[in-house]
Amino acid sequence: QVQLVESGGGLVQAWGPLRLSCAASGRTFSNYGMGWFRPAPGTLREFVAAISWSGGSTYYADSVKGRFTISRDNAKNTVSQQMNSLKPEDTAVYFCARRNTAIVGKKAEQYDYWGQGTQVTVSS
């Protein structure tokens, strides 16, 4: 059984930074792509960012491109998301998820394990 535990959420002022982390259990973490999602109007899981098994490929939603950076440390079974220049519209619960293959993906149905989420609140 795979468990994902997010941390790092909190309250931050607009244009400030915040770093989220996700710790994964299991010995096969490095075999799978990972992603971050958040709820949005009309969808429970809006794609934010994804990273391939090796970290060699990354993919971002247009709304966060240039502001967010996803990374991973396979030795520590962790994936992180550095969020800079945060905007009030970035306020959401952020979920870490494990893909069902090694490559990047932007659809929620491509991910088979999910964390409980961590709240990010950006004040204006």
Q: Give residue 89's pLDDT.
A: 96
CA 73 to chain centre: 14
Inform me whether the pLDDT recorded for 1 exceeds 90.
no
pLDDT digits (tens, 9 = 90+) for 91-120: 999 999 999 999 999 999 999 999 999 999
Q: Give residue 38's pLDDT.
A: 98
pLDDT digits (tens, 9 = 90+) for 29-85: 999 999 999 999 899 999 999 999 999 999 999 999 999 999 999 999 999 999 999
Determine the 3-state secondary structure of 82 from DSSP. Answer: strand
Inform me whether the pLDDT recorded for 27 exceeds 80.
no
Q: Give residue 28's pLDDT.
A: 87
The order of strands in the sheet holding 18-24 is 4-7, 18-24, 78-83, 68-73
| CB hemisphere CA count around 49 (13 angstroms) | 22
Q: Give residue 34's pLDDT.
A: 97
Burial label, 75 (beta-carbon count in 10 A; 0-12, 13-18, 19+) = exposed
